């Protein structure tokens, strides 16, 4: 009986929401932000990083691509996600969306070590959970805030090379990264 009440309440609240202003149409957005280590045991001495994100989406699907750097490391990530935007009746022009998807990151670092150049490449996989808030300023032009964007990264393939020699390893420690983004975009 309680599960039925829960689903009834959820569907009732969704029926009160206004239709999404941008839900059905394609959009593009660009954001700036940063990320910090938020838990797990995979990362050691990971400093906060400045980050840039570009994304394209349509309806329930989006493909954000992120770029961040710091500590001589460049990270490029793709975070395909499902999202559901719905309006809030009391706040005209405001939409919110829960979002969930995958995280695929590529790390690259090249550092000098005892007069040798060491190249490190990492392929990282995980799950991304987030929340998105949009406010439509003009017809199809919006600002976007992502106050919660969590990467739960759980697999890494690591390659280390120097002087023609290369070794690889895998790592399955959990690493959690929290990101915050603010940006703007427009729909078509």
> What is the reported pLDDT for 3?
61
Q: Round to whole Å and give the CA distance between 114 and 135.
A: 52
Distance of CA 17 to the CA centre of its chain: 25
Question: Which residue has tokens 């799950």?
Answer: 127
Query: What does each of the 188 residues of the chain score in pLDDT, given as a tens digit?
Result: 566 676 566 555 555 544 454 445 899 999 999 988 888 888 877 788 899 999 999 888 999 999 998 888 899 999 999 999 888 888 888 999 999 999 999 999 988 777 778 899 999 999 999 999 999 998 889 999 999 999 999 999 999 998 778 899 999 999 999 999 999 999 98
Domains of the chain, CATH where assigned: 24-187 (2.40.160.20)
Q: How far is CA 110 from CA 107, 116, 161, 162, 169, in A?
A: 10, 10, 10, 10, 17
Residue ranges with strand state E in the chain: 26-40, 49-58, 61-70, 73-78, 81-83, 86-88, 91-113, 116-138, 141-162, 165-171, 175-187
Using a cut of 0.85, tell me whether the model's pTM lies above it.
no
């Amino acid at each position: 009986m309680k599960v039925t009440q829960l689903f009834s309440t959820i569907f009732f609240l969704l029926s009160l929401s206004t239709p999404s202003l941008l839900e059905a149409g394609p959009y593009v957005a660009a954001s700036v932000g940063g990320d910090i280590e938020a838990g797990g045991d995979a990362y050691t001495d990971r400093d906060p990083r400045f980050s840039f994100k570009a994304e394209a989406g349509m309806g329930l699907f989006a493909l954000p691509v992120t770029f961040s750097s710091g500590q001589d490391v460049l990270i490029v990530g793709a975070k395909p996600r499902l999202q559901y935007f719905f309006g809030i009746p009391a706040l005209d022009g405001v939409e919110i969306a829960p979002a969930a998807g995958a995280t695929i990151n590529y790390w690259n670092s090249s550092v000098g070590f005892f007069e040798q150049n060491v190249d490190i490449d990492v392929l990282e996989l995980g799950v991304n959970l987030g929340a998105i808030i949009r406010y439509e300023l003009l017809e199809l032009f919006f600002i976007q805030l992502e106050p919660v964007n969590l990467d739960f990264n759980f697999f890494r393939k690591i390659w280390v090379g120097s002087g023609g020699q290369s070794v690889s390893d895998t790592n399955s420690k959990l690493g959690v990264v929290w990101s915050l983004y603010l940006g703007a975009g427009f729909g078509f």
